[in-house]
Amino acid sequence: MLVQQSSALKAEILRLKKEKDVVILAHNYQIPDVQDVADFTGDSLGLSRKASTVSQKTILFCGVNFMAETAAIISPEKKVLIPDLEAGCSLSDSITVDELRNWKKQHPNAIAVGYVNTTAEIKAELDYCCTSSNAVNVVKAISVDKEILFLPDMFLGSYVAKMTGRKNMYIWAGECHVHAGITPEDVTKKLNSLNDAEFVIHPECGCTTPMMYDVADGSYDTKKVSILSTEGMLNHVKESKAKNFVVATETGILYRMKKDNPDKTFIPASEKAECQYMKMITLEKVYNALINEKNVITVPKKIADKARLAIDRMLAIS
Ligand code: 13P
Ligand code: SF4
């Protein structure tokens, strides 16, 4: 889109959202144009919290389906719109309700902890929900003698097991294709090209598990490696005295990192780490969603009421 066209569209979106009393929430992986028209940009946990406190009656959620569903579950009295109903998530697709029910049957006394990257139906089967920024605290809050079923991300699960020292935790073998594709080789290459760089990794990454062992055995200076949620990364790079960073997550995060820290350098661990679902949300679709108010996300009350329990337990801990 031409710059002039995009500025005119942005101005129209800003006018419409005010006129219609709509709040726009955008995930940190959204394209720059979409982040520019958002009232709040953040990680899954931050946006869930925001959804529950904003005064507007309508939320236009620029992110993927499970995020908009979470907002609809938390705020059932609000209208939640998404610019593209097809914006899914490979991680949330990696477990079905039947699979989870069978797994629970095999471990009838276990506590089910599920990542926020799951469908509403899955959340309704959970005891606790968690996000990348609070998964460790959620697991720590569960009595050590209780078995835990952790789903669906195996890299986040291994990270949490390592951080909590938990031995009675079963981990579902799901993954996000974007983060799983960031390999230790990608990371090593980038770190070697920039000697003094700090390294920030999202716990969904395929490189997380081997990197944790490298950190543990002293191959890396632990002070220079941080495993964080997207918002955690943004806070960390702002506060750090370092000037150069290698960033292992979806590349959309670099826009805000660079904007907030113009004097620092950010290099993606892998340029290929792009989520096609997040990138389905365009300025035109945001505009259409505002005009038509059509793509409404609804969750059946019975499912939403059960799912809300797991989300509320998470929000009470973190
Ligand atoms: P967070 O923004 O919560 O860290 O999650 C990352 C993610 O992959 C969302 O799809
Ligand atoms: Fe899902 Fe991965 Fe995309 Fe996040 S980056 S929305 S986990 S597919």
Residue 101 is assigned to a structural domain of this protein: yes
Q: Do residues 16 and 65 share a domain? A: yes
Averaged over 2-15, what is the pLDDT? 88
Residue 273 is assigned to a structural domain of this protein: no
Share of the chain above pLDDT 90, in %: 77
pTM metric for this prediction: 0.92
Atom of ligand 2 nearest to the CA of 179: 2
The 3-class secondary structure across 211-223, one letter per residue, is HHHHHHCCCCCHH
Please identify, among 158, 176, 194, the residue that sits at the C-terminal boundary of a domain: 176
5 C-alpha to center of ligand 1: Å?
30
The total of structural domains in the chain comes to 3
Give the residue, out of 25, 29, 49, with the most ligand 1 atoms within 8 A of its beta carbon, to mutate for a pocket test.
29
Residue 306 is assigned to a structural domain of this protein: no
Ligand approaching nearest to the C-alpha of 281: 2
Domain that holds residue 153: 92-176
Q: What does the pLDDT read at residue 104?
A: 98
- Does the C-beta of 205 come closer than 6 Å to ligand 2? no
191 C-alpha to center of ligand 1: Å?
23
Q: Do residues 98 and 156 share a domain? A: yes
Residue 206 pLDDT grade (very low, low, confident, very high; cuts 50, 70, 90): confident
Residue 308 is assigned to a structural domain of this protein: no
pLDDT over threshold 70, residue 223: no
Closest CA to 314 of 55, 94, 133: 133
pLDDT in tens, 286-313: 999 999 998 999 999 999 999 999 999 9
What does each C-alpha distance from 98 to 105, 122, 146, 284, 310 come to in angstroms?
A: 11, 9, 23, 37, 19
Atom of ligand 2 nearest to the CA of 277: 3
pLDDT in tens, 25-64: 999 999 999 999 999 999 887 897 899 899 999 999 999 9
Residue 305 is assigned to a structural domain of this protein: no
**Contact predicate 253/30, CB 8 Å:** no
Q: What is the mean pLDDT of the chain?
A: 92
Please identify, among 176, 200, 220, the residue that sits at the C-terminal boundary of a domain: 176
d(CA 251, CA 273): 6
Give the residue, out of 61, 64, 204, 272, with the most ligand 2 atoms within 8 A of its beta carbon, to mutate for a pocket test.
64
pLDDT over threshold 90, residue 194: no
pLDDT over threshold 80, residue 215: no
Residue 247 is assigned to a structural domain of this protein: yes
Q: Do residues 7 and 71 share a domain? A: yes
Q: What does the pLDDT read at residue 106?
A: 98
Give the residue, out of 31, 65, 69, 91, with the most ligand 2 atoms within 8 A of its beta carbon, to mutate for a pocket test.
91
Q: What does the pLDDT read at residue 157?
A: 94
Paired tokens of 255: 């826009």
Identify the residues whose C-beta falls under 6 Å from ligand 1: 28, 43-45, 117, 131-132, 176, 202, 204, 229-230
- Does the C-beta of 278 come closer than 6 Å to ligand 2? yes
Q: Do residues 168 and 199 share a domain? A: no
pLDDT in tens, 89-116: 999 999 999 999 999 999 999 999 999 9
Least confident of 47-56, 79-88, 200-209, 264-273: 200-209
Averaged over 174-195, what is the pLDDT? 88
Specify which residues 262 forms β-bridges with: none
Atom of ligand 1 nearest to the CA of 131: 3
* CATH number of the domain enclosing 203: 3.40.50.10800
Atom of ligand 2 nearest to the CA of 117: 7
